[in-house]
C-alpha cells in the first residue's frame, strides 16, 4: 500500500499527524504500508512557487492512494489564480481523473446533541452525497474577468458532457444498490440547460438499475429539505458546485464539519482521501481541530482503494467507541463534557484501535 501523504496548510499538518499515527499502527501490525510525503497548496507555493509541483504529481502518480489534509489560507488570497493553494487541489483532482467524490454524512448517535438540528430530526440520518468532482462550473471554459463595453465582466461556464454525467450516475446507482436503493439527483433544470441534460442522462442511466428508485430535486429545495427532514435521503447525486455546498450543509447535521470524511475516486478506485473541511485558519496551530474526519478518511481509503473492509470497520468502530466514551473535541462537545485537543483525540482513537 503506497500512500502519499500531503498535509497541506492550516490545520492540515495537525489532523494528518493523527491519521498517520493510525496508519503507523496498522503498519506495526503487519499491513504492508509505505508512506511518502509531498507538498501541496500554500506550503508548496512557499517552497517551489507552485501549488501542485511536478514532484508532487510524480509522487501521487506512483502511489496507490493519497491522504490529504487541507489547503489554503488568508496569506495566499492575494496570489494570482494559478498560484492559489486551491488550484493545487483542483489540479490533483483533475490530473488523477478523480471524478467521483463520495461524502458520507452519517450521524453517530452519540453526537445527536452536537447537531444543529433537533435529535428527533437527525437520529438515524445516513446520507451518501455523490459529488461529481472534475467538471461543472469549476472547470468550464470560457472563464475569467474581462473588459466588455468599458467595464469588468466576470465569466464562468457550467459544462457537463453526457459521458461525464453517465459515469457519475453509475457510481451513484451502484452505491445505492449496496444501501437503501434510492438515488435523489439534485439539479437546477428549471433554469439551467446544463442541468436539464444532467436530469435527462440520470433518467436514461437509471433505466439500467430497475432495483434503484430515482427521484429528482431542485437544488434550492434540496438545501431546504436537508434541514427539514434529512432522513428522507439515501444517496444524493449532484454536480461539483451543488455537491460542494450541500455537503458542508449536511456535515453540520452530523455534529460538525470536522466529522465528514471523503473519497475521491477514478474509474479504477485509485483514490484521494481527505476531510471535506478546509484549512480552518481560525483555529490552526492551537491543537483544537477535530482529527476524526481525517481518521475516518483513512477508513474510507482502506475500504475503497485497498478492499480492506475489516480494517475500515475497525477504525470506524474505534471512533464510535471514543464517542460513546464521551470524549470530544471542542467542535462536537456539548455542555459540561470533557474537551480533548487534536492530539489527545488521536491518543484516544489509537487506544481503542
Residue 148 β-bridge partners: 151
Piece of the chain touching ligand IPM by CB under 6 A; list 74-82, 83-91, 191-199, 208-216? 83-91
Assess whether 248 carries a catalytic annotation: yes
CB 93 within 8 A of CB 133: yes
Q: Which is nearer to Mn ion, 101 or 329 (CB)?
A: 101
Q: Which is nearer to ligand NAD, 14 or 187 (CB)?
A: 14
- Pairwise CA distance, residues 331 & 283, whole Å: 11
Q: Which of 52, 108, 138, 209 is catalytic?
A: 138
Among 44, 257, 315, 318, binds ligand NAD (CB under 6 A): 257
- Pairwise CA distance, residues 195 & 265, whole Å: 23
* Tally of CA atoms within 13 A in the half-sphere of 233 that contains its CB: 34
- Pairwise CA distance, residues 243 & 176, whole Å: 17
CB 297 within 8 A of CB 263: yes
Q: Which is nearer to ligand IPM, 89 or 299 (CB)?
A: 89
Q: Could you say whether residue 89 binds ligand IPM (CB under 6 A)?
A: yes
* Tally of CA atoms within 13 A in the half-sphere of 264 that contains its CB: 25
- Pairwise CA distance, residues 154 & 131, whole Å: 25
Cell, residue 125: 440520518
Q: Which of 24, 46, 200, 220 is catalytic?
A: 220
- Establish whether 82 is an annotated binding residue: yes
Spell out the residues 6+ positions from residue 277 whose beta carbon is closer than 8 angstroms to its own. 70, 248, 251, 257, 258, 260, 293
Q: Which is nearer to Mn ion, 136 or 244 (CB)?
A: 244
- Establish whether 87 is an annotated binding residue: no
- The minimum distance between CB 77 and ligand IPM, in angstroms, equals 12
Q: Could you say whether residue 276 binds ligand IPM (CB under 6 A)?
A: yes
Strand positions, DSSP E, the chain: 2-8, 34-38, 65-70, 100-106, 126-132, 144-148, 151-155, 182-187, 213-218, 235-238, 261-265, 271-275, 328-329, 339-340
Q: Which of 248, 266, 321, 347 is catalytic?
A: 248
Residues touching ligand IPM: how many (CB under 6 A)?
Answer: 7
Interface mask toward ligand IPM for 16-55; x: CB under 6 A = ----------------------------------------
Q: Could you say whether residue 187 binds ligand IPM (CB under 6 A)?
A: no
Cis bond before residue 74 (omega within 30° of 0): no
Among 244, 274, 316, 331, binds Mn ion (CB under 5 A): 244
In Å, what is the CA distance from 200 to each residue of 69, 105, 196, 206, 246?
Answer: 36, 27, 6, 10, 22
Question: What is the biggest distance separating any 2 CA atoms in the chain, rounded to whole angstroms?
Answer: 66
Residue 213 β-bridge partners: 182
- The minimum distance between CB 280 and ligand IPM, in angstroms, equals 12
Nearest residue relative to ligand IPM (C-beta): 86
Q: Could you say whether residue 50 binds Mn ion (CB under 5 A)?
A: no
Residues touching Mn ion: how many (CB under 5 A)?
Answer: 1
Q: Could you say whether residue 132 binds Mn ion (CB under 5 A)?
A: no
Note the residues at the interface with ligand NAD (CB under 6 A). 11, 15, 70-73, 86, 89, 257-258, 274, 277-283, 289-290, 293, 331
Note the residues at the interface with ligand IPM (CB under 6 A). 72, 86, 89-90, 244, 276, 278
Residues with a catalytic annotation lie at 138, 188, 220, 244, 248
Binding-site residues for substrate sit at: 93, 103, 131, 220
Binding-site residues for Mg(2+) sit at: 220, 244, 248
Amino acid at each position: 500500500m503506497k500512500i502519499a501523504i500531503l498535509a497541506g496548510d492550516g490545520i492540515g499538518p495537525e489532523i494528518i499527524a493523527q491519521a498517520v499515527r493510525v496508519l503507523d499502527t496498522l503498519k506495526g501490525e503487519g499491513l504492508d504500508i509505505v508512506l511518502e510525503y509531498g507538498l501541496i497548496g500554500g506550503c508548496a507555493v512557499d517552497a517551489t512557487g507552485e501549488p501542485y509541483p511536478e514532484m508532487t504529481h510524480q509522487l501521487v502518480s506512483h502511489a496507490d492512494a493519497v491522504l490529504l489534509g487541507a489547503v489554503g489560507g488568508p496569506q495566499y488570497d492575494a496570489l494570482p489564480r494559478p498560484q492559489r493553494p486551491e488550484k493545487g487541489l483542483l489540479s490533483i483532482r483533475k490530473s488523477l481523473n478523480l471524478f467521483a467524490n463520495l461524502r458520507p454524512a452519517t450521524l453517530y448517535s452519540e453526537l445527536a446533541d452536537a447537531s444543529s438540528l433537533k435529535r428527533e430530526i437527525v437520529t438515524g440520518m445516513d446520507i451518501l452525497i455523490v459529488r461529481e468532482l472534475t467538471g461543472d462550473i469549476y472547470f468550464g471554459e470560457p472563464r475569467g474577468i474581462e473588459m466588455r463595453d468599458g467595464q469588468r465582466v466576470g465569466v464562468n461556464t457550467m459544462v457537463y458532457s453526457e459521458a461525464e454525467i453517465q459515469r457519475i450516475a453509475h457510481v451513484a446507482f451502484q452505491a445505492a444498490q449496496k444501501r437503501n436503493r434510492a438515488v435523489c439527483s439534485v439539479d437546477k433544470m428549471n433554469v439551467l440547460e446544463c442541468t436539464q441534460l444532467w436530469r435527462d442522462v440520470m433518467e436514461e442511466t437509471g433505466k439500467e438499475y430497475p432495483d434503484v428508485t430515482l427521484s429528482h430535486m431542485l437544488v434550492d429545495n434540496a438545501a431546504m429539505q436537508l434541514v427539514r427532514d434529512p432522513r428522507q435521503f439515501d444517496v444524493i447525486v449532484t454536480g461539483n458546485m451543488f455537491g460542494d455546498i450541500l455537503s458542508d450543509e449536511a456535515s453540520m447535521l452530523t455534529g460538525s464539519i470536522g466529522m465528514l470524511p471523503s473519497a475521491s475516486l477514478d474509474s479504477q478506485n485509485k483514490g484521494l482521501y481527505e476531510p471535506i473541511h478546509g484549512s480552518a485558519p481560525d483555529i490552526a496551530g492551537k491543537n483544537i481541530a477535530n482529527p476524526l474526519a481525517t481518521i475516518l478518511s483513512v477508513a474510507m481509503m482502506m475500504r475503497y482503494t485497498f478492499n480492506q473492509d475489516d480494517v475500515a470497520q475497525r477504525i470506524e468502530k474505534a471512533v464510535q467507541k471514543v464517542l460513546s466514551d464521551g470524549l470530544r473535541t471542542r467542535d462536537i462537545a456539548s455542555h459540561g463534557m470533557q474537551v480533548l485537543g487534536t492530539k489527545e483525540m488521536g491518543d484516544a482513537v489509537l487506544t481503542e484501535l
